[in-house]
């Protein structure tokens, strides 16, 4: 059921096929039952699309939280980034407060986003895995800073909001430390 609530493509596909069949039946018979069937299929398709748009699943909430976090990083908006971090995640908060003032980020992005949700945990948790891009200029050295690496963000839901609780950045399957990497880049 969540596939239907998270992606309108199956609704459109089934609706298009059934509408086509009902339309052909109406053209062949030109009677009231075939017209009502066509109107019913179109109406049901539109209703299902509306429900899909209105219902926001936890997976969609995490996807939106990832997008908002990337927008905040791109806008160099440290307070918004810090607000997206779980208060218990002091190390991540420290990383953000260390890195963001050092870099003027000009572009961010995420490809191949995959979100796994565990709503059985209390509080609910999620993991978002994607290929993340951060492009910017180091403020001290004016050197370009560019990462396009595998990112794993762990999220926890608190008070109706999804907050980052942990993160890992990998290059070629090996974890990297972006904070130390940026510091070492400046020291050269």
Count Cα atoms within 13 angstroms, Cβ side, for 70: 21
H/E stretch holding 21: helix 9-29
Give the pLDDT confidence score for residue 50 in this predicted structure: 93
Give the pLDDT confidence score for residue 186 in this predicted structure: 47
pLDDT in tens, 20-72: 999 999 999 999 999 999 999 999 999 999 999 998 889 999 999 999 999 99
3-class DSSP state for residue 140?
coil
Token duo for residue 154: 């762990």
What does pTM read for this prediction?
Answer: 0.77
Share of the chain above pLDDT 90, in %: 70
pLDDT in tens, 55-69: 888 999 999 999 999
Give the pLDDT confidence score for residue 187 in this predicted structure: 44
């Amino acid at each position: 059921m969540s596939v239907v609530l998270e992606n309108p493509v199956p609704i459109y596909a089934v609706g298009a096929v059934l509408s086509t069949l009902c339309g052909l039946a109406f053209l062949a018979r030109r009677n009231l039952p075939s017209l009502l069937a066509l109107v019913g299929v179109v109406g049901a398709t539109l209703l299902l699309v509306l429900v899909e748009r209105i219902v926001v699943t936890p997976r969609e909430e995490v996807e939106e939280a990832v997008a908002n976090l990337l927008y905040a990083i791109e806008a160099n908006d440290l307070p918004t980034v810090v607000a997206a971090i779980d208060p218990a995640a002091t190390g991540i908060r420290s990383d953000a407060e260390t890195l963001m003032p050092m870099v003027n980020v000009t572009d961010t992005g995420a490809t191949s986003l995959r979100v796994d949700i565990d709503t059985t945990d209390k509080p609910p948790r999620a993991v978002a895995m994607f290929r993340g891009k951060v492009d910017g200029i180091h403020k001290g050295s004016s050197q370009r800073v560019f990462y396009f690496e595998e990112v794993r963000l762990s999220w926890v839901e608190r008070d109706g909001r999804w907050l980052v609780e942990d993160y890992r950045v990998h290059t070629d399957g090996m974890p990297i430390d972006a904070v130390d990497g940026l510091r070492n880049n400046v020291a050269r």
